[in-house]
């Protein structure tokens, strides 16, 4: 057994849910640590929302998002102000009444009321 002076660095992979896939990735990380002194470990990251295009002012909930949940978006975090059902949009920037809602990088409609981030 090797003892490291500092904790091993984390290599982050983002993939879908599933125990088989996780076990497969863990196996290869363990093998790399054993054979090549890679000194890493697997960290499971399951996104709860996705920003489809860099120009979007909304994200889409991949899972239900409970009010008060911090949602990581690029280099920041947006807190859900209300419950967001799976598949629904959540504003990540202020959107004023009449302004475009941007999804897929294109306007998909207009805001019918002011939307603060997290709604």
- Quickly tell me which residue has 């660095």 as its tokens: 9
Element at 10 (helix H, strand E): strand 10-14
pLDDT tens-place string over residues 39-51: 776 666 678 999 9
pLDDT, tens only, 68-97: 999 999 888 999 999 999 999 999 999 999
Closest CA to 73 of 103, 14, 118, 105: 118
* Of 26-35, 47-56, 103-112, the least confident: 26-35
Cα separation, 14 vs 44, in Å, equals 7
Q: Is the pLDDT of residue 11 over 80?
A: no
Q: What is the pLDDT of residue 36?
A: 76
Q: Rounded to two decimals, what is the model's pTM?
A: 0.67
Instruction: Give the phi and the psi of residue 34 in degrees, each rounded to 5.
Output: -70, -50
- Residue indicated by tokens 């991949």: 62
Pairing of strands 10-14, 41-45: parallel
């Amino acid at each position: 057994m090797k003892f490291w002076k500092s904790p091993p660095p984390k290599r982050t992979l983002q993939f879908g849910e599933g125990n088989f896939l996780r076990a497969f990735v863990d196996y290869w990380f363990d093998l790399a640590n054993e054979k090549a002194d890679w000194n890493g470990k697997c960290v499971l990251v399951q996104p709860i929302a996705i920003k489809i295009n860099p120009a979007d002012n909304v994200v889409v909930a991949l899972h239900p998002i409970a009010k008060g949940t911090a949602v990581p978006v690029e280099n920041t975090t947006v807190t859900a102000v209300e419950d967001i059902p799976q598949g629904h949009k959540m504003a990540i920037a202020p959107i004023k009444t009449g302004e475009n809602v941007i999804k897929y990088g294109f306007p998909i409609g207009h805001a019918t009321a002011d939307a603060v981030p997290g709604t």
